[in-house]
Chain A
Amino acid sequence: EPEVTQTPSHQVTQMGQEVILRCVPISNHLYFYWYRQILGQKVEFLVSFYNNEISEKSEIFDDQFSVERPDGSNFTLKIRSTKLEDSAMYFCASRGTGTNTGELFFGEGSRLTVL
């Protein structure tokens, strides 16, 4: 069964360092998303991406964050200068075309720990 894959599964970094989280969405999907979950809190929307551009972003997604689809398969989230409060589980998701019933397919997440 097709699935969304994410790497790394866990990354530890120092405050101020740049981090890139990688995602390979399901191959025929065209809508891509990043969500995050701070420990003990709810899953929060960060950004959605379609047709090589951001279609929607939350107030969390400030200038420190960027997304890119560098090739036909990867979808990346970059945090330019990490802060302690960026420590969270980051989930990538994708959605197929056709009627939008809102269902997203999620990866297993990348846990980011900022020290």
Chain B
Amino acid sequence: AQSVTQLGSHVSVSEGALVLLRCNYSSSVPPYLFWYVQYPNQGLQLLLKYTTGATLVKGINGFEAEFKKSETSFHLTKPSAHMSDAAEYFCAVSDPYSTLTFGKGTMLLVSP
């Protein structure tokens, strides 16, 4: 069975600071990994995904994530936070044989 662990239900940063949201996964087969973002009162929007190939993937709004197999991690980063980045971020895992499994989410708070 797959699972996702997101460290920290809330992360607070100042505008312009580095954003780091942590995600570790468990999967018995090579995983597909995703980050979704949920803005207030909106649905889930795909930020980026890793399936195969380059382990550093770039997404929308300046976010990127690196797949590290040895660490079973897929942490999300952004060099400089904007106020508009305040949202809830979900890491998710799947594979060719199973459905998408989400982590519990991390709320990103950005202060001026």
Contact = CB atoms under 8 A, between A and B. Distances in A.
Interface of A: 4, 33, 35, 41-45, 48, 56, 91, 93, 100-109
Contact of B43 (A48, A56, A107): A107
Contacts, number: 51
B105 to A, nearest CB: 6
B83 interface: no
What does DSSP make chain B's interface, helix, strand, loop or mixed? strand
A104 B102 contact: no
B100 A108 contact: no
Interface stretch (B56-64, B68-76, B88-96): B88-96
B77 interface: no
A112 B36 CA distance: 22
Q: Which of under 10, 10 to 19, 20 to 34, or 35 or more describes the interface residues of B?
A: 20 to 34
A110 B87 CA distance: 19
10 contacts: A43-B105, A45-B101, A91-B43, A91-B44, A93-B100, A100-B96, A102-B51, A102-B95, A106-B44, A108-B43
Contacts of A106: 36, 43-45
B44 A43 contact: yes
Contacts of B44: 43, 91, 93, 106
Given A101-B32, A108-B43, A45 B100 contact: yes
